[in-house]
A and B are shown apart, each in its own frame.
Chain A
Amino acid sequence: MSKRAFLIEFLIGLCASAACGNALVQTDDAPVTAVQAETAGPAQVVEPGGEYPRPPKPSRQYTIGIVLPHLSNPHFVGQAYGYIDEAHELGAKVALLEAGGYQHLDRQISQIEDLVADKVDAIILVAVSGPGTVGAVALAVSAGIPVINCNVMTDSDQVVTRVRSDDEEIGRTQADFMGQALKGRGNVVMLRGAPGTSWAENRGNAFKKRLSARFPNVTVVGEQYSQSTPADGLRLMEDFMQTYAQIDGVYNGADTTAIGAAQAILASGKTGRIVVATTDFQQDTEKFMRAGVIAAAVVQQTVVIGRWGVRAAINYLEKRPVAGTLWTPLLLVSRDSVDRLDMRGVRAPEGWKPPTR
């Protein structure tokens, strides 16, 4: 718990420095996160995700079934790399399935049922819907298959552990950044992301709560949900700009919508006049950040989520205790700190493609 408190302090420190465009703050009490380790000197290269270390290679080959919402954006591609590479290191076989989109809940449930029929040793679930996956998790557990819940949460309380970013922290960090960047006054619109998912709900709600607590003169004038695609972000941002005469900032639950919003802002010539904050950091997000359109990104280490998911599964199968929740560290990045970001926890290697299944 205290580790989280340090993280929060550290991130707030980062926010303050990012807003002023200074170098990363180094504090002595902060835990060794990937960001800090990078700047601590060449001798100390901590592998991203080292806080939850890789267990020893197990005695037998386990089969792990992984169900994802989709593979059409770099966030899940990076996560898939984490799952597959980690499984490879631990000698485990992987069956990677994707539902084709957050709207295909019935397909994800069918995939879980098929994995149960195939008698996998463990299932890693990135839920397409919180309430909708409860029955499927119950089915797996009753068949003796442990379920590890990663990234997007299911409402089921039968999961062995949850590997996740702190969604509330993401929302709060974006709110702090936005509030300071707007100097406490302005209009903000929200591109919340996929309706009904834990991340869209939690991040957005935390953002709003933080704004009203610390920056009461920053008003949320509009918010919309959508699928996480640039096309949706573009369309919604264009509509927002038509509806509201004055927009000063954009919140993004996921960076795919931020890319679309950035395109809309570029096209309208308002670059620099609208502060864009986002979650995650794919290549196009980086491009727009370097171009000055996107101001800040709270980065989930999606590869680390993947690695920790497999590590938790193996630990559980080898009958070692596993904590109820594993919080993967977040990174905050802005134009000045972009070059110091350790991509190994954030993106799959260049050119890596997930096996199509």
Chain B
Amino acid sequence: MSEVSLKDAPEEPGVNAVMSMVSKVPWGHIGMPAVLVIMVIVFGSINPNFYSLTNIANVSRQISPLALISIGQTFAILSAGIDLSVGSLLALVSVVCAQQMLTFGLAGGIVAGILAGCLAGLVNGLLIAKARVPAFIATLGMLVAARGAALTLSGGLPIAGLPHTFLVVGAGHLGPVPIPIAIVAGAVVVAHVVLSRTRFGRYVYAMGSNEEAAVLSGVNVARHKILVYVVSGLFAGIAGVVLTSRVISGQPTLGEVQELYSIAAVVIGGGKITGGVGGIGKTLMGVLVLGILGNGLNLIQVSSYVQNIVIGAIIIAAVYIDSARARRR
């Protein structure tokens, strides 16, 4: 009996041992960071400028707005929703921030911009939670309307004449750290704590995994849904202010397509588009992959058209690998 089974054994015992070792490695946790390390090594070996302090500072500044809206997007996607409007909100916030800054000064402009983001998020939340409009549709409508509002308020023209002290937000340093990165770091810490340690955070996950169960457990799903979209709008507001500082003007054309990259960041990091799975750390990984990929490919002179093909492939690959692993379990 054992002779037959040995003869029929399809694989070498050695291969079996290796495969079982491989499957014990926690790919879910080290997969993305491993990909990042490989990318950094490959890009750095082709163009050593990749490692320069200037380049690192550049990349961190360039991905800060995306990182911030991806944090907000994480909340939305975790709750089994989505926020398609964040890109247009960047433009709306930029215009409001710039206009109010011209009248009310630096602080007034910044506060007005962030409030505009929160208000738009509130509208999204009310539509989704109270009027029961599906999140996709409600935020799609906001995407179009907010862009229109930004163009209307600004007359289609950029708003210049902002105080040069405002440049500090986008271009300044806190010690050795660029300010946008300091803002992102703060946002990441706060968001992570909220998602993992507060009741609101648990409800977000609950709504995402099984909304009916959450309702039946007595969670005020409507109120927490509204809060989710206000949070997304808040982060869009902060991102919009940072972006406006980088371009030192109110620009109604900012942020096109950025909502899609924020969704890509969440998904590449390992979050499930259907909700309930994911987190700030995972999203941050996704943002880093996108940012480092873009910057690295630029530095090794790959066409930006090809870059888009690569990013699309990575999004699909990330989700495929994730679902393939889930099926094998």
* Chain A residues with a Cβ under 8 A of chain B: 95, 98, 100, 102-106, 109-111, 113-114, 116-119, 129-132, 134-135, 139, 143, 155, 195-196, 225, 356-357
* Chain B residues with a Cβ under 8 A of chain A: 47, 49, 52, 54-55, 58, 61-62, 65, 156-158, 160-161, 167, 170-171, 243, 246-249, 251, 253-254, 256, 295, 298-299, 301, 303-306
Which residues of chain A are near B304, meaning CB under 8 Å?
Answer: 98, 100, 357
On whether the beta carbons of A114 and B157 are closer than 8 Å, the reply is: no
On whether the beta carbons of A106 and B246 are closer than 8 Å, the reply is: yes
Instruction: Known A131-B161, A195-B156; judge A118-B49 contact (CB<8 A).
Output: yes
Instruction: Known A113-B61, A225-B156; judge A132-B303 contact (CB<8 A).
Output: no
Which residues of chain B are near A119, meaning CB under 8 Å?
Answer: 49
Which interface residue of B54, B161, B299, B301 has the most chain A CB atoms within 10 A? B54
Instruction: Known A110-B62, A196-B157; judge A105-B171 contact (CB<8 A).
Output: no
Which residues of chain A are near B301, meaning CB under 8 Å?
Answer: 95, 357
Which residues of chain A are near B58, meaning CB under 8 Å?
Answer: 110, 113-114, 116-117
One of A116, A131, A357 near B54 (C-beta < 8 A):
A116
B69 CB to nearest chain A CB (Å): 13
9 contacts between A and B (CB under 8 A): A102-B253, A106-B243, A110-B62, A114-B58, A118-B47, A129-B247, A132-B247, A135-B171, A143-B54
In the bound complex, how far is the Cα of B55 from the Cα of A117, in angstroms? 5
A108 CB to nearest chain B CB (Å): 9
In the bound complex, how far is the Cα of B161 from the Cα of A118, in angstroms? 30
Which interface residue of A113, A134, A357 has the most chain B CB atoms within 10 A? A113
- Inter-chain residue pair count (beta carbon < 8 A): 87
Instruction: Known A114-B298, A131-B161, A225-B156; judge A105-B247 contact (CB<8 A).
Output: yes
One of B55, B157, B167, B251 near A105 (C-beta < 8 A):
B251
B296 CB to nearest chain A CB (Å): 11
In the bound complex, how far is the Cα of B254 from the Cα of A225, in angstroms? 17
In the bound complex, how far is the Cα of B307 from the Cα of A111, in angstroms? 14
On whether the beta carbons of A117 and B52 are closer than 8 Å, the reply is: yes
Which residues of chain B are near A195, meaning CB under 8 Å?
Answer: 156-158
A110 CB to nearest chain B CB (Å): 5
Which residues of chain B are near A129, meaning CB under 8 Å?
Answer: 158, 247, 249, 251
Nearest to A130 among chain B residues (CB) is B160
In the bound complex, how far is the Cα of B55 from the Cα of A110, in angstroms? 11
Which residues of chain A are near B248, meaning CB under 8 Å?
Answer: 131-132, 134-135
Question: What would 15 more interface pairs be, CB under 8 Å, given A103-B251, A196-B158, A357-B304?
Answer: A95-B301, A98-B304, A106-B246, A113-B58, A114-B299, A117-B58, A118-B299, A131-B161, A131-B249, A135-B167, A135-B171, A135-B246, A196-B157, A196-B251, A357-B303
Nearest 10 A/B pairs, CB to CB: A103-B253, A131-B160, A117-B55, A132-B247, A196-B158, A356-B303, A113-B58, A117-B54, A195-B156, A131-B249
Nearest to B52 among chain A residues (CB) is A117
In the bound complex, how far is the Cα of B303 from the Cα of A111, in angstroms? 13
B147 CB to nearest chain A CB (Å): 11
In the bound complex, how far is the Cα of B306 from the Cα of A140, in angstroms? 27
B248 CB to nearest chain A CB (Å): 5
Which residues of chain A are near B249, meaning CB under 8 Å?
Answer: 129, 131-132
On whether the beta carbons of B246 and A356 are closer than 8 Å, the reply is: no
On whether the beta carbons of A132 and B158 are closer than 8 Å, the reply is: yes
In the bound complex, how far is the Cα of B253 from the Cα of A132, in angstroms? 12
A127 CB to nearest chain B CB (Å): 11
In the bound complex, how far is the Cα of B248 from the Cα of A154, in angstroms? 13
On whether the beta carbons of A113 and B247 are closer than 8 Å, the reply is: no
A70 CB to nearest chain B CB (Å): 11
